[in-house]
Amino acid sequence: MSPTAQGIPGLPDLTHPHELVQFGTQILKGSLLFVFLVIALGVAIALISFSLRRQTTEQAVFFGEWAIRYSQLLQGLQHLALILVLLVTGFFLCSTLSNRYHHWEQAMVAQVVESVAGDKLEQTAPQVRYVTQEPYTYNTQVKGKIVTVKATQPVTRFMNLTGSQIQVKLDQSVDVKGRSTIYDVDYAADYKVVNQLKDISSFFFEAPPPNGSSVIEGYKVEREGNRLQQTNPGDYGFPFRLEPGQETTFRVTYKAQSGPRWVYSAAGQFLSKFRLIATANFSPVEFASGIKPKNTKVEGNSTQFTWTYDDNVSVKNPFGVFTNTKPIRNTGIIPRLLLLAPAVFLWWILLLYLSLPMSLKNVAIAGGIFFACLLTLTYLGRLINAQLVWVMISLILVALAWGLGSNRRASIGAIVCTITGAVLPVFGLLVPLSGLTLSLAALLSVVWLAIRHWYDSYSLQQQR
């Protein structure tokens, strides 16, 4: 498996034992330091109170004031410790889920690439070769003098085909051991040759088999119904005679197996009266190399592509058929969301603390609900659209947030905080316009806090 499918490098993953041990060790050290600082503060207050034991009045004032502050500090530290535990635990949970989701996305991409990758079967247009004698001159020295000599030399030339009628049928075999997809190709082509030369009658019809085939059978070349035999093994140049002005036809047929792509190459020739019909008996399928066919016909699970060129045309790129797959879009969105989820949770909890009284039990339940919603989003997002999943989850989250308030007014505040602090930020990280959505969520959050506190302060002043 490729390294990119193993997860996001550098992120902690609680499914790895050594990272889990390191995480536990760091948490233990941090907890011991935290407990030591709290105990040290309590001991310092006790020592100062003991030093003022002879001054009863000062001792009572100091001890009473600092006892209240220490009690408030311990209560605040409890909330801080719970939030830190939720944040740290949530971060490691989200990083693990992010790694798992990234791994799943990369494996899905690799599977799709494997289904369309591999060797292609490329059929090259045959060529008509002939040899002609062309004059040339060269200088030589005879008896000390430079003499110009005229001579002839054989030169290989090629004559364009005057007609091509090609039919290819493609069937797809899937789930082949060692290969994801292969093509079964049934090829039949008729080529027309007209001798437009005046003094040449000996030619070679060069029709090599296709490149990239894993299996090829029944390959044969016929001239007007008569099969041509190879003169040498591996030599696919078939000699024939054709008088000036006459015409003849050749037929090339074979069956082959190849990778999930079949293309036809003109090999730099000018195609005249060319017609290629490629019938793919599977779906989805699309034409290759961006050369659009003149006609596309779909019947059930079969698609027929037709390329037709009546006059001379030069086609540089090979054209043909390949297995089409649906484009993979929006990769990396869920992993990014999971990495930013602890920050979203912290913002949501901060809004709740600034809007209504929060107990330790409510904070713990709210944290559990938030990360449970993200866990549900992570796995349901593999099956259906993630945005739709979050809309459905948001309805549950908002309904549960009503219970955070002790009265109707507080419950409405909890719902407003949940929408602006949790629902909209997460939704903003799922949609393309993330910056605009997050900015809107931040603006609504600040507006809510301003109205909440300024309006309450103004109401209290009016009551006075």
- Residue 348 pLDDT > 60, yes or no? yes
Confidence of residue 439 (pLDDT cuts 50, 70, 90): confident
Least confident of 91-105, 316-330, 357-371, 381-395: 316-330
Can you give the pLDDT at residue 392? 93
- Residue 114 pLDDT > 70, yes or no? no
Using CA atoms, how far apart are residues 449 and 355, in angstroms rounded to an integer?
7
Are β-strands 215-223 and 226-227 bridged in parallel, bridged antiparallel, or unpaired?
A: antiparallel
Cα dihedral 157, 163, 169, 170 sign: positive
Angle between helices 56-116 and 360-380 (to 10 degrees): 10
Residue type, 210: P
H and E: helices and strands count for the chain: 8, 18
Query: Rounded mean pLDDT of the chain?
Result: 78
- Nearest Cα to Cα of residue 354 among 399, 421, 419: 421
> Are 272 and 385 in the same domain?
no
> Are 152 and 291 in the same domain?
yes
**Would 12 be classed as within a structural domain?**
yes
> Are 101 and 151 in the same domain?
no
Question: In the block, which residue shows the tokens 């506190």?
Answer: 453
> How do residues 156-183 score in pLDDT, each as one tens digit?
888 888 889 999 998 887 665 545 567 8
> How do residues 287-342 score in pLDDT, each as one tens digit?
776 678 888 888 888 889 998 887 766 666 677 787 766 666 667 788 888 888 88
The residue among 300, 319, 338 that closes a domain is 319
Can you give the pLDDT at residue 203? 92
Between the alpha carbon of residue 125 and those of residues 161, 166, 228, 293, 386, the distances in Å are 9, 10, 18, 18, 49
- Specify burial of residue 170 (Cβ count, 10 A radius: 0-12, 13-18, 19+): buried
Distance of CA 426 to the CA centre of its chain: 22
- Residue 237 pLDDT > 80, yes or no? yes
> Are 300 and 359 in the same domain?
no
- The residue among 44 and 400 whose pLDDT is bigger is 400
**What is the signed CA dihedral for 258, 264, 269, 272, rounded to 10 degrees?**
140
Between the alpha carbon of residue 234 and those of residues 176, 237, 416, the distances in Å are 30, 9, 79
Most confident stretch, 19-23, 144-148, 178-182: 144-148
DSSP letters, 160-208, are --SEEEEEEEEEEEEEETTEEEEEEEEEEEEEEEE---SS--EEEEE-P
3-10 long-range CB contacts below 8 Å, 24 or more apart? 4/106, 5/103, 5/106, 5/107, 5/110, 6/103, 7/99, 7/100, 7/102, 7/103, 8/98, 8/99, 8/102, 8/335
Question: What 3-state DSSP class applies to 29?
Answer: helix
> Are 29 and 54 in the same domain?
yes
> Are 174 and 298 in the same domain?
yes
Q: What would the mean pLDDT of 366-381 be, rounded to a whole number?
A: 89
> Are 129 and 56 in the same domain?
no
Using CA atoms, how far apart are residues 55 and 49, in angstroms rounded to an integer?
10
Domain that holds residue 439: 329-458
Confidence of residue 461 (pLDDT cuts 50, 70, 90): very low
> Are 53 and 159 in the same domain?
no
> Are 188 and 108 in the same domain?
no
Confidence of residue 378 (pLDDT cuts 50, 70, 90): confident
Q: Are 16 and 102 in contact (CB under 8 A)?
A: no
> Are 347 and 284 in the same domain?
no
**Would 76 be classed as within a structural domain?**
yes
> Are 154 and 223 in the same domain?
yes
> Are 110 and 244 in the same domain?
no
Using CA atoms, how far apart are residues 223 and 249, in angstroms rounded to an integer?
6
Using CA atoms, how far apart are residues 406 and 409, in angstroms rounded to an integer?
8
- Please tell me the total count of domains within the chain: 3
Residue type, 25: T
Residue 59 tokens, joined: 């001792």
Most confident stretch, 40-54, 239-253, 375-389: 239-253
**Would 324 be classed as within a structural domain?**
no
**Would 141 be classed as within a structural domain?**
yes
What is the CATH classification number for the domain harbouring 307?
Answer: 2.60.40
Most confident stretch, 10-14, 207-211, 430-434: 207-211
Are β-strands 302-309 and 202-206 bridged in parallel, bridged antiparallel, or unpaired?
A: unpaired
The residue among 256, 285, 319 that closes a domain is 319
Q: What is the DSSP letter of 403?
A: G
